[in-house]
């Protein structure tokens, strides 16, 4: 989710023969600037371009790449899997946000923000990212993982992600009894095994487009 969260998982990726580059949202952890939803996907594109320079400097410019996003980070991962499809060999969506409007917290706050006309105005508002619409353009191997008791991003969003994803090589993992922030505590070994499996598929994937 942020750079400082991923360190404990680095050995998992290294054990699969993969390097790991973790990117912050602006204004979070080591990131500078102010957080802004409207800049999220554009920032992801800028980070992708910068990552190419990192790979070239390391002599790994031909390396295959997997994008992974947890929670709201899934919006960035899905976006890059579409906009950079020729160079993305795998996608991991971990407790991923697909629809801001379908978040229970957002629906609950709508009347407070929009007032008495909320019931009429809220459905007409557009989704900030159109992540659901982008799923129809995913072609790389995709792993979707979600806690069945997720209290922040409901399990229904994970199911929707898997259903709408156009990849011919996709998998949905449901974690029984797990919420939004305790999947690793409850299913750490299984979570790691699923990621390792996706990385293996990504190594073999060649984009046909």
Residue pLDDT, tens place only, 10-63: 889 999 999 888 888 888 877 788 888 889 999 999 999 999 999 999 998 889
pLDDT > 90? residue 4: no
pLDDT at 148: 98
- Residue given tokens 């993969």 in the structure block: 18
Predicted TM-score (pTM) of this structure: 0.90
- Residue given tokens 């809220």 in the structure block: 122
- Residue given tokens 């996003």 in the structure block: 69
Q: Are 91 and 67 in contact (CB under 8 A)?
A: yes
Q: Which of 182, 158, 43, 37 is nearest to 106 (CA)?
A: 37
pLDDT tens digit sequence for 110-142:
667 767 776 666 566 777 889 999 999 999 999
Q: State how far Cα 136 lies from the chain centre.
A: 15
pLDDT at 206: 81
């Amino acid at each position: 989710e942020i750079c400082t969260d991923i360190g404990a998982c680095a050995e998992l990726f290294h054990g699969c023969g993969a390097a790991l580059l973790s990117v912050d949202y602006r204004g979070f952890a080591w990131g500078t600037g102010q957080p802004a939803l409207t800049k999220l996907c554009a920032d992801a594109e800028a980070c992708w371009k910068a990552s190419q320079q990192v790979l070239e400097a390391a002599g790994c410019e031909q390396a295959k790449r997997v994008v992974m996003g947890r929670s709201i980070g899934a919006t960035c991962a899905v976006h890059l899997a579409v906009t950079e499809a020729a160079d993305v060999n795998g996608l991991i969506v971990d407790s991923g946000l697909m629809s801001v409007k379908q978040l229970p917290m957002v629906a609950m706050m709508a009347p407070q923000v929009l007032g008495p006309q909320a019931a009429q105005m809220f459905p007409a508002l557009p989704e900030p990212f159109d992540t659901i619409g982008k799923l129809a353009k995913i072609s790389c191997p995709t792993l979707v993982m979600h806690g069945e008791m997720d209290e922040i991003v409901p399990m229904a969003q994970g199911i929707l992600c898997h259903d709408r994803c156009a990849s011919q090589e996709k998998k949905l993992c449901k974690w029984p009894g797990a919420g939004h922030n305790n999947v690793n505590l409850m299913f750490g070994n299984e979570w790691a095994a699923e990621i390792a499996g996706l990385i293996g598929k990504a190594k073999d994937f060649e984009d046909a487009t």
